[in-house]
Amino acid sequence: MDFYNLMFTAIAMVVLSGLMLVLARKIMSKKPNLPPGPPGWPLVGNLFQVARSGKQFFEFVGDLVPEYGPIFTLRMGTRTMIIITSADLAYEALIQKGPVFATRPDENPTRTIFSCNKFTVNSSSYGPVWRSLRRNLVQNMLSSSRIKEFHNLRSTAMDRLVNRLKSEADANDGVVWVLKNVRFAFFCILLAMCFGLDLDEETNERVDHMMKKVLITLEPRVDDFLPILGIFFSKQKKRAIEVRKEQLETLVPLVKRRKLARGDETSVISFSYLDTLFDLEIEGRKALSNTEIVTLCSEFLNGGTDTTATALEWAIARFIENPDVQSKLYDEIVKAAGKDRKIAENDIEKMPYLNAVTKELLRKHPPTYFVLSHAVTEPSKLAGYDIPLGTTVEFFTPPIANDPKIWSDPEKFNPDRFITGAEDADITGVTGVKMMPFSVGRRICPGASMATIHLNLMIARLVQEFEWSAYPEDGKVDFSEKLEFTVVMKNPLRARIKPRV
C-alpha cells in the first residue's frame, strides 16, 4: 500500500511539475515585449526611485534619455508608462497610427471627480462622447470667425492689464510682477468668453482663486499610483470633495444667471461657450446637468489660462535676456501700427517677426514638457515593442524641440531661424514633428489657434507699451524651472518697465 502511495505521489508530482512548466511558458509567451527601462523594485516599480531622487519628474525622465534613448518604460506602482522622446516615434504614433493612439488612460480617483467621470474634451475616451464635445467646442466656439467676435473683449482686458502694470510700477519704483498680472488678464478674457457675463473684478478674483484651488487639488499623489495606500490619504480625499463642492457652488450661479439672460439683446456679450452647452445633446441625453456644464466650463478656463500666461512670462524673460530681440520686435510693431495707435489683431497677420518670436518661444518653452497622456485603443507596436492596452503612453517633448539633428544651435533662443527660411516647423505635426507645444494628431489641443492669437496680441501690446529690463538692474534672469500644472519659472519673474510714451 505504501508502495502504491509513493508511486501515486511521484507521478502526481511529475504531472504537476509538467503542468506548472507549461503554465509558466504560456505566461512568459504572453508577456508583452515592453521597451527597456531602469530596473524597479517589486510591486512599486520605479515609483520610490522617482520620489527619492530629489528631482522633479521631468528632470528624472530627462536624465534617462541618454541611456535608454527614444522609447523606454517606467513602472510607477500599478501604472506602466511608456515614454516616447523622439520626433519620428511621435509622428508614427500620433499621426500615422493616430486612431490607435487617440484615447486616454484611466484617471485617478481625484481627477475622476473633477472631470465628471472623464466628461471633458481632453479627458474623454476616444469615441462618440469625445467627438461630440470636441466638435461643439471647435465649431461653435473656437472657429476663426467666432474668435474674432471677442476682439473687443480682448482689447478691454489688455487696456486693464496695461493700467494695472502702470499702477504697480508707480508704487514700486518701476518694478512689476509679471506672471500674476498677465495670468489674471488671460483669466478675465476666458471667464467672459465662457459665461458671457460682464463680471466685476471682485467676482473675477473670487472665481480665479477657486480655480487655483482646483489645480492644486489635482496635483498627483502617491496613492494615485498605489491605490492600496489610499487609506493614508483620507484627509486629501475629503478635501478634494470639499473643493469640488465649492467649485459647483461658485460656478452654478453663473450658469443660472447666463441662462436667464439668454436672448437678451442688451447683454454686453452676445455669445458664450456656455450658450453652446445648454442645447448640446450627447448620446441621446436631453440636456447636460449643471455638474457636467461646470466641468466643461472649468476645462475651458483652466486649459487656456496658465498655459498662455506662463508662455508670456517666459517671453518677457527672453526679451530681458535678448534686448536686440525686443528692439527688433518693437520696430516691427511701430512699422505695423505707428507710435500712436494701439496694435490691433489684424496687424498681427502682417508681422512675421512677431510670429517667429512666438514660435521660437513655444519651441523653447512649451506649456508643459509632457503632452496629455495617451493610451491605445487596441494592442499595438512601436519601434518593435509592444504597446499593450492599459499602458500609459507619455510623450516627452524637450528632446524633440532641442534635437540638434532637427534644429541648428537648438539651445539658443533665436527667432530669426524662422525668418531666413532655413528652418520651420508645422506645429500641427501633419507634415512632420519638430515641436509639439499643443500635442499633434487627433488629440491636438483644440484651443491652439486661440492661444496663439492671445499670445501674439499680448506680447505685441506689452512690448508696444513698455520697455522691459532686468530687476535688479545688473541681475541676470534665472531660467530655472518647476512644474506647477505648467512649466513655470522657479523664481517668479520681477521686471522693471519703462513706458515708451
pLDDT digits (tens, 9 = 90+) for 222-245: 999 999 989 999 999 999 999 999
Q: How far is CA 126 from CA 121, 222, 226, 392, 443, in A?
A: 10, 27, 26, 14, 9
Look at residue 18 and tell me whether its pLDDT is greater than 70: no
* SS3 state at 481: strand
List, in sequence order, every residue forming a beta bridge with 380; answer none if it has no partner: 387
Tell me what pLDDT residue 54 has.
92
- Give the confidence band of 390 by pLDDT, cuts at 50, 70, 90: very high
Tell me what pLDDT residue 275 has.
94
Tell me what pLDDT residue 421 has.
79
Q: How far is CA 136 from CA 9, 116, 117, 279, 488, in A?
A: 69, 18, 19, 10, 31
Percent of the chain scoring above 70 in pLDDT: 93
- Give the confidence band of 310 by pLDDT, cuts at 50, 70, 90: very high
Q: Kindly report the number of other CB atoms within 10 A of residue 5's CB atom.
A: 9
Average pLDDT over residues 395-412: 96
The letter for the amino acid at 83 is: I
Average pLDDT over residues 47-71: 95
In terms of residues, how long is the chain? 501
pTM: 0.90
Tell me what pLDDT residue 8 has.
38
Look at residue 264 and tell me whether its pLDDT is greater than 90: no
- Give the confidence band of 5 by pLDDT, cuts at 50, 70, 90: very low
Tell me what pLDDT residue 128 has.
94
Q: Which helix (H) or strand (E) holds 293?
A: helix 290-321
Look at residue 265 and tell me whether its pLDDT is greater than 70: no
Tell me what pLDDT residue 15 has.
35
- Give the confidence band of 348 by pLDDT, cuts at 50, 70, 90: very high
Q: How is residue 108 annotated by DSSP?
A: P
Q: Which residues of 324-345 are buried (b: 16+ CB within 10 A; e: fewer)?
A: ebbebbbebbeebbeeeeebee
Tell me what pLDDT residue 9 has.
40
Tell me what pLDDT residue 22 has.
37
Look at residue 339 and tell me whether its pLDDT is greater than 90: no
Q: Which helix (H) or strand (E) holds 74?
A: strand 71-76
- Give the confidence band of 4 by pLDDT, cuts at 50, 70, 90: very low
Look at residue 89 and tell me whether its pLDDT is greater than 60: yes
Average pLDDT over residues 252-260: 94
Percent of the chain scoring above 90 in pLDDT: 83
Tell me what pLDDT residue 380 has.
97
List, in sequence order, every residue forming a beta bridge with 71; answer none if it has no partner: 84
Q: How far is CA 481 from CA 2, 57, 220, 296, 439, in A?
A: 75, 12, 18, 30, 20
Tell me what pLDDT residue 75 has.
97
* Residue 445 labelled as part of a binding site: yes
Look at residue 277 and tell me whether its pLDDT is greater than 80: yes
Between 485 and 39, name the one with better pLDDT. Answer: 39
Q: Where are the alpha helices (DSSP H) in 322-447?
A: 323-337, 345-348, 352-364, 398-401
In whole numbers, what is the pLDDT of the chain averaged over residues? Answer: 91
Look at residue 14 and tell me whether its pLDDT is greater than 70: no
Look at residue 16 and tell me whether its pLDDT is greater than 50: no
Task: Give 314: exposed, middle or buried? Use CB within 10 Å, 0-12, 13-18, 19+.
Answer: buried
CA distance 85 to 394: 9
Task: Give 130: exposed, middle or buried? Use CB within 10 Å, 0-12, 13-18, 19+.
Answer: buried
CA distance 287 to 285: 6
Q: Which helix (H) or strand (E) holds 295?
A: helix 290-321
Look at residue 117 and tell me whether its pLDDT is greater than 90: yes
pLDDT-wise least confident of 3-7, 53-57, 476-480 = 3-7
Contact 183, 492 (CB under 8 A): no
Tell me what pLDDT residue 374 has.
98
* SS3 state at 430: coil
Tell me what pLDDT residue 279 has.
87
* Pairing of β 79-84 and β 392-395: parallel
- Give the confidence band of 473 by pLDDT, cuts at 50, 70, 90: confident
Look at residue 263 and tell me whether its pLDDT is greater than 70: no
CA distance 276 to 204: 22
Look at residue 10 and tell me whether its pLDDT is greater than 50: no
